[in-house]
Amino acid sequence: MTLITQSKQQTPDAHSSKTEAPVVCLSKSMEKSFLALKNHKAREAYVEAELVNGLAHQIRIIRQQRGWTQKQLASKLGTTPSTISRLEDPSYGRYTIQTLLALGRVFDVAFFVRYMPFSKFMPATWDTRPENFKAATYEDEASSVQFFTETKSRSFFKPVIVDTVTVNYTKQSPLGIPSISMLPQNEVDTKYAGDMQVFLASYCL
């Protein structure tokens, strides 16, 4: 899912210290769902449902990815199979940070929590295909991780997967939409954040 952040040019205003918020462009398929969040209670219910359902499904999917039964995961976690069954039940919802961290240790994956605006939360939770909930162990992914020097060069690094595109620019395409093709190759950097390959491009006149 592509999220494009467009930074507007700022017009100096001696009477205002307020910074204009950037324009965030979401997929058209998200429009109806995003506009439905104008109601505060709808936002609360949306966040809770996405988190609880997402956690339950991911615990089950990662367990199955490891080839473990509920009994085997329970043994590794030092608990009972019925507890694992509850953790994998979307209607349960009573997770603790301690339990989630313990699961992360057993699965050998990172556990990440952060508050964010809805314009980032929705794209992050939109695609619920099972493959998006899988997480490799550190040992499994270590051999495939590569590193790069964060310096500008004329070489163009093309990421294998582009999940998020963030464009800060002062120039527009004919339709007013940020265009990566407008950027000189020597001003395009590829960076990676966590296990998601993120394509960051910046162009300033």
What does the pLDDT look like over 159-169, one tens digit per residue? 444 344 443 43
What is residue 99's predicted lDDT score, i.e. its pLDDT?
Answer: 97
Tell me: pLDDT of 60 over 70. yes
**N- to C-terminal Cα distance for the chain?**
28
What is residue 75's predicted lDDT score, i.e. its pLDDT?
Answer: 98
Whether 199 contacts 164, CB under 8 Å: yes
What is residue 166's predicted lDDT score, i.e. its pLDDT?
Answer: 41
Cα 192 to Cα 85, 101, 148, 161: the distances in Å are 35, 24, 10, 11
- Reported confidence tier of residue 146, pLDDT bands at 50, 70, 90: very high
- Report the pLDDT averaged over residues 29-49: 96
How far apart are the C-alpha atoms of 115 and 58, rounded to whole Å?
A: 19
Amino acid occupying residue 62:
I
Summary mean pLDDT of the chain: 77
In this predicted structure, which of 31-40, 49-58, 182-191 has the lowest mean pLDDT? 182-191
- Report the pLDDT averaged over residues 23-36: 95
Compute how many other C-beta atoms are within 10 angstroms of the C-beta atom of residue 101. Answer: 12
Q: CA geometry: angle at 98 spanning 42 and 44, to 5°?
A: 5
**What's phi and psi for 37, nearest 5 deg?**
-85, 10
Please report, for the chain, the start and end positions of each structural domain, with discontinuous segments joined by +.
29-137, 146-205
Within 8 A by CB and 6+ apart from 167, the residues are 4, 5, 6, 178, 180, 201, 202, 203
Question: What is the edge-to-edge ordering of all strands in the sheet holding 196-202?
Answer: 23-25, 4-6, 165-168, 196-202, 188-193
- Report the pLDDT averaged over residues 113-131: 96
Q: Give the CATH fold of the 29-137 domain.
A: 434 Repressor (Amino-terminal Domain) (1.10.260)
What is residue 88's predicted lDDT score, i.e. its pLDDT?
Answer: 98
What is residue 4's predicted lDDT score, i.e. its pLDDT?
Answer: 52
